[in-house]
Amino acid sequence: MFRVFQAAILVIAVSAAPALAQDSLSGTIKGMEGSTLTITGKDGINANVMIGADTKVIGLTAAKLTDVKVGDFVGVGSIPGADGGQNAVEITIFPAAMAGTGEGSYPWETQPQGTMTNATVSNAVTTVGANSLTLKYAGGEKTVAIPPEIPVVLIGAATVADLVSGAAVKVAGAKDATGAMVAKFVIVGRDGVVPPM
């Protein structure tokens, strides 16, 4: 995660009323009627999510490892390798306007023993090799092995119009008093991209 999704969860935790419970959902958009988005979860069960005026929509498009340049700000999800190092399982390229978002290296609950490392613009990817990225961030440095065919995505702007049937999404929100989920953030994959976070 690309700690954008995790950062969204933190924003929700701070801004949501005490009576609202945090919630999240991943799946595929089945359809949208009015302000109600229907998502088919990974378990095959449909869930309705309310899209409001304050809902933020973030788009993800496919990228390649060669798109990662020295000086870029990236988020790299990784897991321990057999050699004791870290193996990347996903890379997210942040736009310049989001430089510094979630900088550092943190536990990543999406993967067992996972770590999410976000590196800053000037001290981001300092060497780009065929098999590894070296990341620098405030207080540390990490080299991560890059396996072939790793998913790489680029964060970009999106709107409610991008919430179309068949698109993969991750939603962060809160349940209201009736139990309905109200979305605060929606991360939507474009052109078949599945959010890897």
Q: 48 and 66, same structural domain? A: no
Name the helix (H) or strand (E) containing 14: helix 3-15
Distance from C-alpha of 64 to C-alpha of 130, rounded to nearest angstrom: 12
Regarding whether 129 and 79 lie in a shared domain, the answer is yes
- Mean pLDDT value across the chain: 82
16, pLDDT greater than 50:
no
Residue 46 pLDDT > 90: yes
* Residue 43 and residue 120 in one domain: no
42: pLDDT confidence band, cut at 50, 70 and 90? Answer: confident
The pLDDT score that the predictor gives to residue 132 is 83
Percent of the chain with pLDDT over 70: 83
pLDDT tens digits, one per residue of 112-126 = 899 999 986 443 455
CA dihedral sign of residues 56, 61, 67, 68: positive
Q: What is the mean pLDDT of residues 182-195?
A: 91
49 inside domain: yes
Residues 6+ apart with CB under 8 A from 35: 50, 51, 52
| The pLDDT of residue 14 | 30
Has residue 7 got a pLDDT over 50? Answer: no
Residues 66, 138 within the same domain: yes
Catalogue the E-assigned strands of 109-180.
114-118, 125-128, 132-137, 140-145, 152-157, 168-175
Beta bridge partners of 78: 88, 115
pLDDT of residue 98: 81
Structural domain including 166 reads 3-59+156-189
Bridge partner residues of 77 (DSSP)? 90, 116
When divided into structural domains, the chain yields a total of: 2
Q: Identify whether 138 is part of a domain.
A: yes
18 and 37 housed in the same domain: yes
Q: Is the pLDDT of residue 61 over 60?
A: yes
What share of the chain in percent tops pLDDT 90?
Answer: 42
- Residue 195 in any domain: the answer is no
The string of pLDDT tens digits covering residues 80-107 is 998 889 999 999 999 888 888 888 998 9
Task: Please report which confidence band the pLDDT of residue 166 belongs to, taking 50, 70 and 90 as the band edges.
Answer: very high
65 lies in the same domain as 149 = yes
- Asked whether residue 97 is domain-assigned, the answer is yes
> Are 119 and 46 found together in one domain?
no
- Amino acid 129: pLDDT: 58
Q: In terms of domains, do 165 and 177 share one? A: yes
> Do 182 and 148 share a structural domain?
no
Instruction: Indicate whether 26 and 104 sit together in one domain.
Output: no
pLDDT band at 130 (very low <50, low <70, confident <90, very high): low
| 42 and 107 part of one domain | no
Closest CA to 163 of 46, 27, 62, 54: 27
pLDDT of residue 24 exceeding 50, the answer is yes
pLDDT of residue 102: 82
Give mean pLDDT, residues 144-151: 86
Phi first, then psi: give them for residue 9, nearest 5 degrees. -60, -40
Nearest to 98 by CA among 195, 165, 189, 7: 7
Query: Of 177, 196, 195, which is closest to residue 186 (Cα–Cα)?
Result: 195
Domain-embedded: residue 31: yes
Contact status, residue 29 vs residue 13, Cβ threshold 8 Å: no
Assigned domain for 135 exists: yes
Tell me the pTM: 0.76
What CATH number is associated with residue 34? 2.40.50.320
d(CA 47, CA 36): 10
Q: Are residues 127 and 164 in the same domain?
A: no
